[in-house]
Amino acid sequence: MSAPTPIVLDAPTAPLDAQVAVIGSGPGGAITAALLAEAGRDVLLIEEGAFLQLESCTPFTLDEMVQKYRNGGITPALGPTPVAYVEGRCVGGGSEINSGLYHRTPPEVLERWRKEFQVEAIADADLSPHFEACERDVSVSRLPGAAPAASLKLHDGATKLGWKSLEIPRWFKYDGTSTSPNSGSRQSMTRTFVPRFLAAGGRLLPKSRIRQLRSEGDMWLASGSHADGTRVEVRAETVFVCGGAVQTPALLRRSGIKGNVGNSLQLHPTVKLTARFRDRVNASDMGVPVHQVKEFAPRLSFGCSISALPYLELAMSDHPAHLREVTAGWERMAIYYAMIVSGSQGSVRAVPGFGDPLVRYRLTPEDMKLLAEGLAKLAEMLFASGAEALFPSVRGVEPFRSMDDVRRLPSMLPHGRTNLMTIHLFSSCPMGENRDVCAADSFGRVRGMKGLHIADASLLCTAPGVNPQGSVMAFARRNVLNFLGRG
């Protein structure tokens, strides 16, 4: 028996029918769609962005930001200090644009979710098989060769201070040679679960945005539009919403589904420093820095960010008088970050007449103090590793050239002048059996809505303090197998 022919649809001219519609093709959606299709279900996977291969552009460039990011990667969560957040907008979602650094959900976080949100079946015995399966499927592994120099600088500084520093594994398949051992390819969804989904007979509808869901008896009607303006209508017995922590609650709220939806957004606020060293730490083929410092986790975590030339220029925008230094000396420069677990919650609201939802996030004075503490500790590590100048992402603050300069930093970073960002958003539709706070049950079923499920980062109950995509994948796998009666 021959394998099914992969089906990627153009703009539909008539309503589409499916047993299951999966809206969003990031890690949650792609895993859900692939496992359902492999179980013999008729599945339509719908994605707002285009179907692009990893090779469609050079990773971590301006071209990639234009092709694969929503709004070029500069969407703000509004508040006294806005937080710029990043969303993928392409088949594969965030897995196509991020660094692919992988973490399991920390045990203490899972225990909190069990107690406060009453999430069922999240003991180690429940989740380990799902983590292990996902790790095999996306080839989670450590570098076979030496880490990039910029990554080693952070590790060296932490080691000199006696702080815990780790190499974080990635979902990456290495096929390097003795001269280039770290070469290979990121195992994003377009390299792993999307091909599996198509090989199992699933249908993919890219460039199509679903704007509203409506229950019609035992069916769901998902309506929206294709990028060319064509109307899109999909009828399905079951719908999995997998648009992420912003787009999922926005779609549900536009559809009149509001119970504990979009009220509890959490994220990892992140402040950055650009460091200049005396020796070379950067190169056009540097790759992804892999070290993170977890001495003060979960409150504070530190790492080295992507430091390609366009990213350096953007990071130095708070120091316009020093921009020329990037052009002349970018090979001696790299970007580092301090990430906090905030006690704040934000909101996501659909706004009539606007394409994008309104996202609010108000950082507390305690958050701004913790960010200042993180910035100071990050500076201490980088000076210990030999940095000669540090440029914090705070307007009006002069570059640090010694720890004496760092000590003059305010104990609380100033609202309005601190440039913050995040790539980790979650918790806007938390799961669990605590009906006072949870939008979905422990397995992602939306309360009171037969046949409607969520499978993305919005289900995670609180900020996990680590990259959430390992958690998203494991819970998506657990939940879809439960749906299929296999878990």
Model confidence band, residue 463 (pLDDT cutoffs 50, 70, 90): very high
| CA–CA gap between residue 71 and residue 11 (Å, rounded) | 22
Same domain, 451 and 408: no
| CA–CA gap between residue 388 and residue 332 (Å, rounded) | 10
Helix ranges, 332-392 (H): 365-384
Q: Which of 40-49, 178-187, 243-252, 309-318 has the lowest mean pLDDT?
A: 178-187
Three-state SS at 391: strand
Catalytic residue among 291, 319, 424, 453: 424
Same domain, 328 and 455: no
Same domain, 246 and 282: no
Per-residue pLDDT tens over the stretch 289-305: 999 999 999 999 999 99
| CA–CA gap between residue 63 and residue 285 (Å, rounded) | 16
For residue 450 the two structure tokens come to 């037969």
53 or 460: which carries more pLDDT confidence?
460
Same domain, 163 and 197: no
- Predicted local confidence at residue 89, as pLDDT: 95
Same domain, 43 and 191: yes
For residue 374 the two structure tokens come to 């993180």
Query: Which amino acid, 472?
Result: V
Residue 59, in any domain of the structure: no
Residue 180, in any domain of the structure: no
| CA–CA gap between residue 91 and residue 204 (Å, rounded) | 9
Half-sphere exposure of 97 (CA within 13 A, CB side): 25
Same domain, 409 and 433: no
Same domain, 120 and 219: yes
Residue 66, in any domain of the structure: no
Read off the pLDDT of each residue in 33-48 and give the average, rounded to a whole number: 98
Model confidence band, residue 4 (pLDDT cutoffs 50, 70, 90): low
Of 422, 443, 473, the residue that ends a domain is 422
Q: What residue numbers bound the domain in which 404 lies?
A: 143-169+269-422
DSSP string, 154-213: HHHHHHHHT--EEEPPEEEEE---SSSTT-EEE--TTTTHHHHHHHTT-EEE-SEEEEEE
Helix (H) or strand (E) holding 149: helix 149-161
Whether residue 468 has a cis bond before it, omega within 30° of 0: no
- Predicted local confidence at residue 3, as pLDDT: 55
Give me the CATH number covering residue 99: 3.50.50.60
Three-state SS at 438: coil
Instruction: Note the residue count of the chain.
Output: 487
Euclidean distance between the first and final Cα of the chain, in Å? 29
Q: How far is CA 459 from the centre of its chain?
A: 13
Residue 395, in any domain of the structure: yes
Same domain, 320 and 358: yes
Q: How far is CA 287 from the centre of its chain?
A: 19
Helix (H) or strand (E) holding 422: strand 420-422
Same domain, 298 and 285: yes
- Does residue 443 contact residue 247 with C-beta atoms inside 8 Å? no
Residue 80, in any domain of the structure: no
Same domain, 412 and 367: yes
Read off the pLDDT of each residue in 36-44 and give the average, rounded to a whole number: 98
Domain count for the chain, please give it.
2
Residue 378 CA: distances (Å) to CA of 58, 266, 279, 385: 29, 23, 19, 11
Of 407, 422, 437, the residue that ends a domain is 422
Residue 70, in any domain of the structure: no
Give me the CATH number covering residue 386: 3.30.410
pLDDT at 97 over 60: yes
- Does residue 283 contact residue 463 with C-beta atoms inside 8 Å? no
Q: Is residue 424 flagged as an active site residue?
A: yes
Same domain, 336 and 351: yes
Read off the pLDDT of each residue in 41-46 and give the average, rounded to a whole number: 98
Helix axes 469-483, 124-137, angle to 10 degrees: 110
pLDDT at 101 over 80: yes
Residue 175, in any domain of the structure: no
Q: By C-alpha distance, which of 128, 121, 175, 88 is closest to 444?
A: 121
Residue 460, in any domain of the structure: yes
| CA–CA gap between residue 351 and residue 361 (Å, rounded) | 16
Same domain, 275 and 388: yes
Three-state SS at 121: coil
Of 397, 422, 447, the residue that ends a domain is 422
